[in-house]
Amino acid sequence: MRLSCQLIAIALGVWAAFPAAAQTRPPALEPLPEPPPPPPGFFDAPDAPQVTIKKRGEDKIEEYRLHGKLYMIKVTPAHGVPYYLVDLKGDGVFVREEAPDGGPRLSVPMWVIHQF
């Protein structure tokens, strides 16, 4: 009997506190101001690769160049899985790169730090 009276008292306390908690409102939210526009030339990065898309028959050829030098070619055949030809050493010899899942294989970055 004593346990049930305690439970009833707890239930009444929770029930009495619930309307008070429901009446609290969150602070009014204000919209954020518009961000400033990017500086001129921000999207014209000089180190961004240039991509040229060509059609050969039904195949789509995408050539990727950096500083005018061709370093990768993506070939998307009309029927089949796309594959990549990559110039790994920068000597103009392209090697077919393909991963088991059909995407490009992981390639370790080999950047030119300084060129004389």
**Cα(104)–Cα(85) distance, rounded to whole angstroms?**
9
Tell me the backbone φ, ψ of residue 20, rounded to 5 degrees.
-65, -40
Structural domains in the chain plus CATH codes: 47-116 (2.20.130.30)
Four-CA torsion 41, 42, 43, 47, nearest 10 degrees: 90
**Cα(65)–Cα(50) distance, rounded to whole angstroms?**
5
Q: At residue 43, what is the residue type? A: F
Residue of 65, 64, 66, 84 lying closest to 74 (CA atoms): 84
Q: At residue 22, what is the residue type? A: A
> How big is the chain, counted in residues?
116
pLDDT of residue 17: 63
Residue-by-residue pLDDT tens, the chain, 116 positions:
555 767 777 777 776 666 655 566 777 888 888 888 877 776 666 677 888 999 989 999 999 988 888 989 999 998 888 888 988 888 888 888 765 565 556 666 666 777 76
